[in-house]
């Protein structure tokens, strides 16, 4: 299905890896404490992915040997440990093919205007800095486990001062040359199944439009989706519509069962059950039900869901921060949802193969942990 090759380009000097690597550019909010922390680290890839002079920053990291060349094609096996859990995947260069080829399968709509900045960065530097996060049904886990019998190339813990979900995650990375027996096994195993984009749809879209022969992709058969919760300022306040809702009091804001929503205001927490659950793959998702059943009562429309005056979004792991935003009076209402399952996501993606209008709703999934940028900087080739 998906043809992959080993990566060539640049990778961090081992003693610099913890400082060079950074969260994905799209989770670093402008003006945030996280941005300030990364900006203060001169070796951070932040200066390339979001800095004002990315090409100059990239050249500086190379001249200072924070990034070193590696021109032998290789796969990079990446293990993340977080609490009692772990996830292993592999960085590859995946052949860029049109969506119609059904090799790289998306579940979100992609927009040309949203990738202009990423394409400009790719053309200014001739490199790709952040990976697409993809899922596969190929039985790759057992193959990747073979790499772990050797000492890792990198072994470090990310320090982001608790400002991002990647803080405190232990990372181990093994280098597997494409020409090795294990490299060939990785290549052959991945070729048996398509890739489903989990996160980074616009990174792949940028590679498609650039146009590149291959894209930097992290692929795994292991993934966990967190609920993508939200805080809301409706056109109408929650207190004004509360009497019209079949609410059940609950002790606090928490992740609810499927097809139930947990609502929190400064006056208390409540559970609200879905009234109707359709059978279609998109309509039955809790975020779709929420938009149909609750948003209209708050005077909210689909066009508002990306407007920060009305909405902000938090992964399930940040439910306390979401509650605090309501307690501070920044938002009127917090809403916690049950997370989307992998099977639900794949069902939507597969349905979209025959009808490209079938996609996951915006802000419906949050894959955690994210993938660090900068573990490998891929020197892509143009078509």
Q: What is the structure's pLDDT at 112?
A: 86
Q: In the CATH scheme, what is the code of domain 228-339?
A: 3.30.1760
Give residue-wise pLDDT tens across range 152-184.
999 999 999 999 989 999 999 999 999 999 999
- In this prediction, residue 57 has a pLDDT band, given cuts at 50, 70 and 90, of very high
* pLDDT tops 90 at residue 60: yes
Q: Reduce the secondary structure of the chain to three states and give it as a string.
A: CCCEECEEEEEECHHHHHHHCECCHHHCCCCCHHHHHHHCCCCCCHHHHCCCCHHHHHHHHHHCCCEEEEEEEEEEEEEEEECCEEEEEEEEEEECCCHHHCCEECCCCCCHHHHHHHHHHHHHHCCECCCEEEEECCCCHHHHHHHHHCCCCEEEECCCCCCCCCCCCEEEEEEEECCCHHHHHHHHHHCCCCEEEEECHHHHHHHHHCCECEEEEEEECCCCEECEEEEECCCCCHHHHHHHCCEEEECCCCCCCCCEEEEEECCEEEEEECCCCCCCCCCCCHHHHHHHHCHHHHCCCHHHCCCCCCEEEEEHHHHHHHHHHHHCCCCCEEEECCCCCHHHHHHHHHHHHHCCCCCCCCCCCEECCCCCECCCEECCCEC
Per domain, the residue ranges of the chain are 4-224+368-378, 228-339
% of the chain exceeding 70 in pLDDT:
100
- In this prediction, residue 109 has a pLDDT band, given cuts at 50, 70 and 90, of confident
């Amino acid at each position: 299905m998906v043809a992959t090759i080993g990566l060539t380009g640049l990778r961090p000097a081992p003693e610099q890896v913890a400082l060079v690597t950074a969260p994905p550019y799209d989770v670093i909010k402008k003006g945030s404490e996280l941005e300030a922390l990364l900006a203060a680290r001169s070796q951070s890839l932040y200066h390339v992915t979001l800095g004002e002079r990315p090409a100059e920053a990239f050249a500086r990291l190379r001249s200072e040997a924070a990034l070193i060349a590696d021109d032998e094609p290789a796969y990079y096996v990446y293990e993340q440990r977080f609490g009692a859990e772990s996830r292993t995947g592999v960085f590859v260069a995946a052949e860029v093919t049109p969506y119609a080829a059904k090799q790289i399968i998306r579940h979100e709509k992609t927009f040309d205007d949203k990738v202009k900045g990423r394409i400009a960065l790719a053309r200014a530097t001739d490199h790709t800095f952040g990976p697409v996060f993809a899922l596969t049904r190929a039985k790759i886990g057992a193959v990747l486990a073979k790499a772990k019998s050797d000492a890792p190339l990198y072994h470090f813990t990310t320090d982001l001062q608790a400002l991002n979900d990647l803080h405190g995650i232990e990372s181990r990375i093994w280098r597997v040359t494409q020409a090795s027996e294990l490299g060939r096994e990785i290549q052959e195993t991945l070729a048996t199944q398509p890739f489903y984009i989990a996160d980074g749809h616009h990174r792949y879209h940028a590679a498609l439009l650039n146009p590149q022969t291959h894209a930097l992709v992290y692929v795994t058969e292991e993934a966990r989706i967190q609920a993508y919760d939200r805080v809301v300022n409706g056109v109408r306040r929650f207190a004004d519509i509360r009497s019209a809702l079949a609410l059940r009091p609950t002790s606090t804001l928490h992740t609810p069962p499927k097809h139930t929503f947990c609502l929190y205001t400064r006056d208390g927490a409540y559970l609200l059950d879905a009234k109707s659950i359709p059978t279609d793959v998109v309509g039955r998702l809790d975020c779709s039900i929420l938009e149909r059943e609750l948003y209209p009562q708050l005077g909210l429309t689909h066009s508002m869901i990306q407007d920060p005056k009305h909405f902000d979004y938090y992964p399930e792991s940040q439910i306390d921060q979401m509650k605090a935003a309501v307690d501070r009076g920044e938002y009127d209402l917090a809403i916690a949802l049950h997370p989307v399952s992998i099977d639900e996501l794949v069902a939507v993606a597969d349905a979209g193969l025959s009808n490209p209008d079938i996609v996951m709703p915006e802000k419906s999934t949050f894959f955690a942990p994210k993938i660090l940028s900068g573990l490998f900087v891929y020197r892509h080739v143009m078509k």
